[in-house]
Amino acid sequence: MSTSKQTADAIIVGGGLHGCATALYLAMRGVNCAVLEKDYVGRHASGVNAGGVRRLGRALPEVPLADTALSIWRNIEDLIDDDCGFKSLGQVKVAENNAELSALKNRAKTVQDIGFLHEEIIDQKQLRELLPAVASHCIGGLYVNGDGHANPYRTVTAFKRKAISMGVRIFEKTPVTEIVRHGKNWQVKSPSKKIEAPIIVNCAGAWGGSIAAQLGDYAPVEAQALMLMITARMPHFVKPVVGSQGRTLSFKQFDNGTVMMGGAYQGSAEPEQNNTHLSFNGLAKNARAATAIFPIMRQATIVRSWAGIEGVMPDNIPVIGAGSADGVYHAFGFSAHGFALGPLVGKIITDLIDGGDIELPIDAFRIRRFSQNKDI
């Protein structure tokens, strides 16, 4: 098959939320962008995650980013002409005993010590006001007002649509087979085309490690299949997004009454085949965690379960920033909590490419933090 050759100012590998957001911000500054996506936009983690938009419980290096990202979410419709189903109803992490509540108090103090006041300890009475259906033995929690959730597939599709309207070329069903240096440019090859550009951005998610290797960087990404399930419609009993200090749980109820449950319970991922397999034992554990916090869930009927392929880093924080070679940038490995950061990360990468100052601390996310562990 003959391949067509094209050029661009910047090539983004990966058409998830971070790739589309980066392309949009670059296009807004007049940069001619091409996005190469091996499947379709939102096929993997970006389109099938739980949609949490949270500051609650973030790894400390992510806290400043999550706090800034929320301001983008509050005005997301101004950016992409779609509110993405964003609802700011708060998030709460439930404590079932004194040891768990003590751990949450220590967490809140740690966040306060680095200058952020959004995490608030609530007592049993306040917890019950927020969550009337919570189990009677729960004694308090950690609450963040203003956190919430959005619709993942709607969000990534809206970014795609807006990017295209700004002149971004998005090539779906276009897997990257090889990346080579070609003079001052990077040449990206796929079965149907070659594209050259001086700038390349690796937003390849669970496949980010293999793309990084072709660009001269090392990152030990693990592909994981993180499961979610959703119920038939139920009477409305909860508004905030709910987690648990002592159990693995992510829990929310939508306007139509359906309830989504997750919490990083894993199936198995086959990234080479683009497949995931569910673990019914893991789904059962997820359901038991939900019923322990909300006894009403014993009445629930599960109607669907699924898993997306997510790229997870050994330290559970992403890679964001410049690569080792000229013109290389990375944004991948968001370790099951990258959705809320997507719109902001696109701006950060664009600012780096544009040579502007980055006001947020991103040094913890540099890809070279893994080089010392690289096999020689």
CA dihedral 336, 340, 341, 347 (to 10 degrees): 140
Share of the chain above pLDDT 70, in %: 98
Share of the chain above pLDDT 90, in %: 92
CATH of the domain at 163: 3.50.50.60
353 and 329 Cβ atoms separated by less than 8 Å: yes
Residue 32 lies in a domain: yes
Domain edge (last residue) among 293, 312, 331 = 312
Residue 209 lies in a domain: yes
Between CA 107 and CA 74 the distance in angstroms is 26
Q: What residue numbers bound the domain in which 127 lies?
A: 91-145+223-312
At residue 34, φ and ψ (nearest 5 deg) are -130, 135
pTM of the model: 0.95
Q: What is the pLDDT at residue 169?
A: 98
264 and 334 Cβ atoms separated by less than 8 Å: no
Co-location of 232 and 284 in the same domain: yes
Confidence of residue 376 (pLDDT cuts 50, 70, 90): very low
pLDDT 10s digits, 45-88: 899 999 999 999 999 999 999 999 999 999 999 999 999 999 99
pLDDT 10s digits, 136-181: 999 999 999 999 999 999 999 999 999 999 999 999 999 999 999 9
Confidence of residue 374 (pLDDT cuts 50, 70, 90): low
CATH of the domain at 284: 3.30.9.10
pLDDT tops 70 at residue 316? yes
108 and 122 Cβ atoms separated by less than 8 Å: no
pLDDT 10s digits, 95-108: 999 999 999 999 99
Co-location of 215 and 165 in the same domain: yes
pLDDT tops 60 at residue 370? yes
pLDDT 10s digits, 21-37: 999 999 999 999 999 99
Confidence of residue 264 (pLDDT cuts 50, 70, 90): confident
Co-location of 230 and 121 in the same domain: yes
pLDDT tops 60 at residue 127? yes
User: How many domains does the structure of the chain reveal?
Assistant: 2
Co-location of 139 and 232 in the same domain: yes
